[in-house]
Amino acid sequence: MSVHSSPRDKVAVNDGILIQILIKLPVKSLLRFKSVSKHWLSLIINPHFARCRNPNSSFVSGLFLYSSMRRRNRELNFIPLQNNENPSDGDDDAYLEPLTTIPSLSGKEILSSCHGLLCCSSHSNLEGDYQFLYHILNPTTKQFKSLPQPRDGHKGMNLVFDPSRSPHYKVVCVWLVDCDDLVLSVESDQNNLYYRIEIYSSETGSWRACGEPFTANRNSEFSSGVYWNGAINWFNSLGDSLYFNMEDERVRTIPMPRIPHRDWKRRPFRYYGESNDHLHFVEIYGPRIQFDVYEIEKDYSGCFVKYHVDLGSVGVAFPQMMQSILGDTMYYMFTILLLVREKKDDEDSFMVLHIPGKILRYNLGDKNFEKICDVGAEHCDGNGDSFMYSWFDSFQYIESVSCI
């Protein structure tokens, strides 16, 4: 190098300095800089680069939402949560375009999200052969990959991806076992069913069966698994919940709080999700606006109350939350779409709420709240008095440059 090289030239040939600059840029800029040169492209798509950006891998820029009461051809909507630069230049419709990059098949739908990647399904009906197909999609880069067909009869497809651990992703598929194919060593329980697990690895590009068949309550929600603590975690509305450890590939139970007596026969889960390496859930019994947010212990020994929440001030500000259901009983109508734990200051942690006509941000520290956006009557039923978003129809959008 010439002794008269400019500082810019010195940076351009020093990968260490260049990477330190690039990792601090917004994703929108990185997507543009990929076309500067082959060298810059190789740096940005390198798995090591994605790991360097991992401190921001839990920064939720928005939510993909499906109207939960619409059973067919559900509309996909996008709710931005941050006022930062995004690939869409502020056009929410551009966020929905990535699904169109999947080949022109019917019934495209998001099944799960994990650290910037989405697991999606679609179906084909060529020559009378109706078949579900599955894909992994990065909505930021609009890259996708179609997966080999899993076994028929599956009950859930759960995405596993952590760029801080590996550039590769996995998909955990739970499918129902025909008991006629098993030699059972225990008596059958009509409340339990037998399941097995298959795992797809992007590293090998194939599915493999793992572990022995296991029993689980028929109310276990295998379609709504949450990746946390190196495991896929499934909630159960009747008994203890379950988790599947990705290291030893075994299914174990998560002790849950006792269901109170009275008329409650199952848990009224109102939220179940992960944020910044914390797994939370909320269950609300009856027409209450005060509730606790539980956090599950990392050793799975139990759970504890992390937050006490009182939405009374929200109800005063938005009286349309009060709705009559089932006769004279009055309920505060709201859904918890997301809970975000801030790493730097827990006082800044917040929930995203859906009330009739609006999406709100509710700060768990100072209890203040603000409107994120309005949602129109198309997101309510025919009378406009019931909202249609629910937490299990909500998928996090996290900007990522990870390759599929």
**Hey, what CATH class is 45-398 in?**
mainly beta
Q: For residues 322-344, b (16+ Cβ closer than 10 Å) or e, as one string?
A: eeeeeeeeeebbbbbbbbbbbee
Extract the tokens encoding 197: 């697990």
Please identify which residue in the block is written with the tokens 């179609």.
146
Pick 82 or 255 by higher pLDDT.
Answer: 255
* pLDDT tens digit sequence for 267-323: 888 999 999 999 999 999 877 889 999 999 999 999 999 999 999 999 999 988 887
User: 173 pLDDT exceeds 70?
Assistant: yes
Q: What is the pTM of this model?
A: 0.83
User: 345 pLDDT exceeds 80?
Assistant: no
Neighbours of 66 (CB within 10 A): 19
User: 385 pLDDT exceeds 80?
Assistant: no
* pLDDT tens digit sequence for 1-13: 455 455 555 555 5
CA–CA dist 282, 163 (Å, integer) = 28
Spatial strand order in the sheet of 335-340? 335-340, 350-355, 358-363, 369-374
Extract the tokens encoding 372: 């994120």
